Amino acid sequence: MTIFQQLRLRRLRRSPSLRALIRENCVETSDLIYPLFVEEGKNIKQEIPSMPGIFRFSPDRLPHEVEELATLKIPAVILFGIPQEKDEVGSAAYHPKGVIQQAIRTIKKATPELLVATDVCLCEYTSNGHCGVVVNGDVDNDQTLPLLAKTALSHAAAGADIVAPSDMMDARIKIIRQALDEAGFEQIPILSYAAKYASAFYGPFREAAESAPQFGNRRSYQMDPANLREALREVEADITEGADIIMIKPALAYLDVIRQVRNTFNCPLAAYNVSGEYAMVKAAVKENWLDERQVVMEIMTAIKRAGADIILTYHAKEVARWLGEKQKDNSPC
């Protein structure tokens, strides 16, 4: 018996070509930024146990890695530094010959076309693992701001294309923008971690960057995972202060935040598919519980569908290879 049904949405799902014709979102290699961990020293390439396939490199080992990224047509990296020495004010973060400053120069010499973004924060450089200057057991917002500005300036002077403050101090975008402009770096954009949540998904990163707090936690400056409206206030403040690109971090548990920000603000939007999200996939794949390629591409598509223009992800190399295979086969995205 045939039931008359005027609306038959399945008609447009009958074949790969039809599905591709009406596909609303496509992940592209040009959407991706690949995070790199750079450790001070020489001849270092060390895999991070909780992040299979991700390594810490010394600056001298970076050329081969970034040349591979350029071959894969990944447009940008973001750098995180691990210094040999730490102190209470994170002075290695803004030293002219610091590990990130060395890395920027090395990458730009090896692959001038590769965009280099730099994480601007003190947590990897302070002896206490916090993102700013600690006074009486708490991070002092206003004492931290000049040090963040010095860090951003040192990165720009070394050749960074983008600076990305991740500290979540109030007014840091304004202070960094002012410092960059006064030093003649008006053309350096700021990618702001505008809504960075105090998330449990950062665990593997803190192992990789040796940046776990030595006491307490970061809940007095990173956002409460329960809050969405507060994220809109943070984003609005950062755009007003001069942010060129805004970021939501993490991504998967915060797709609703990405969508709300996308609906509210007309600004380039990035999302960080963080270390814990990456590690969960790798652990499940190792047990043959999930198909890695299908799951990763579904995650990337979800982040894009939620509204992100840019995706920071440790899966970037794999995604670029898979997309390259599709292009060779003339397959749709």
Q: In 3-state terms, what secondary structure has residue 74? A: coil
Tell me the H-state helices in 159-291.
172-182, 203-209, 229-241, 255-264, 275-286
304 catalytic? Reply is no
45 catalytic? Reply is no
Catalytic site residue from 86, 150, 196, 304: 196
C-beta neighbour count of 43 within 10 angstroms: 8
Contact 150, 94 (CB under 8 A): yes
Catalytic site residue from 249, 282, 304, 317: 249
**What DSSP letter does each residue of 175-210 carry, written as one string?**
HHHHHHHHTT-TT--BEEEEEEB--GGGHHHHHHHT
146: Cβ contacts below 8 Å, ≥ 6 apart: 175
β-pairing, 134-135 vs 138-139, is antiparallel
Residues classed as catalytic: 196, 249
